[in-house]
Amino acid sequence: MHFDGQPLFGKKFYAPVIHGKSVTSTENFLWNCKVLRNYIFDSDLIREAMPLLVVQNLFVTFIETGTGNLNPTIFDVSLEINRGEVLALVGGSGSGKSLTTLAIGKLLPQNARVGGKIAFADVSLLELREREMRKIRGKRISYIFQEPMACLNPLRTIGFQICECIRIHNPRLTRREIRRIAVSTLDRLHFQNPEDILRSRAHQLSGGMQQRAGIAMAICNHPQLLIADEPTTALDGASERIVLDLLRELQRTDGFALLLITHNLNIAREMAHRVAVMHRGRVVEFGKTFDIFANPKHEHTRELLGAFSF
């Protein structure tokens, strides 16, 4: 796959040429509409903004239990994300995407050793104690995990779990105020009966509703950085579209930075301003979404693009 370019509004937009055959004018128009959004959001305001999160020369090594052998898994990873930006971290299974994001939140197991620099809003996260990190995690940095049932307690109602997230980081709020925030958050996620959802348990909800409940837990405290780890992998096509549209809507209205982990390049192209490609524990390519798709530099990026139809 390669691209032919024509200037448009002072920018170069491209019609994809796949297997030597150009796409139709209608498909070209739709393609340019998608990439135009990336250039609009990749404005001087975003480019000149101070990065919200900076990861430099990140290394993650695991110490094997019993033998004490070192098992390095993440090698010299560097990336950054600006305020209000969507960064897609893409790569195949086992490339190190999830480990990198878990290292950001200091959620790795005790046998993990992390080196390098992780700066969030000029705060060095690796130097913080766990008590200090808890004030950031869930409040300023939130996670959406791949499997909603992995983060939802089956013994507790959805309302208890959302209200607990709010209460921990806002201890001065009354129970009535906390519940009002929980209902408002579910309403923003287009639940038709928020009060009924608050009284429900996870097993009483569909997969898409479970994931939206997980998103509610992640955004109820208005984070500055939302890390979404394969948020649609366990969902059917219809639920996937609902979740992606919600994430886009919330990101635009709330203005948080979104670090989106995915192996689906179609999702990365649609959602992200910039893309980082991981392979075998390393970031092998990092740049604007359009540039990555139009002119991939690394062989692994070209292999990933070749595996998808656009």
Whole-prediction pTM = 0.83
User: What strands, in cross-sheet order, belong to the sheet with 86-90?
Assistant: 141-144, 225-229, 257-262, 86-90, 274-279, 282-288
Q: Counting Cβ atoms within 10 Å, is residue 25 exposed (0-12), middle (13-18) or buried (19+)?
A: exposed
| Measured torsion, CA atoms of residues 245, 248, 250, 255, in degrees rounded to the nearest 10 | -170
* Residue 173 DSSP one-character state: S
310 residues of the chain, pLDDT tens digit each: 444 444 433 344 344 443 444 444 444 434 444 444 444 344 444 444 679 999 999 999 999 988 889 999 999 999 999 999 999 999 988 999 999 999 999 999 999 999 999 999 999 999 999 999 999 999 999 999 888 888 899 999 999 999 999 999 999 999 999 999 999 999 999 999 999 999 999 999 998 999 999 999 999 999 999 999 999 887 888 889 999 999 999 999 999 999 999 988 999 999 999 999 999 999 999 999 999 999 999 999 999 998 876 5
Q: Where do the domains of the chain lie?
A: 1-41
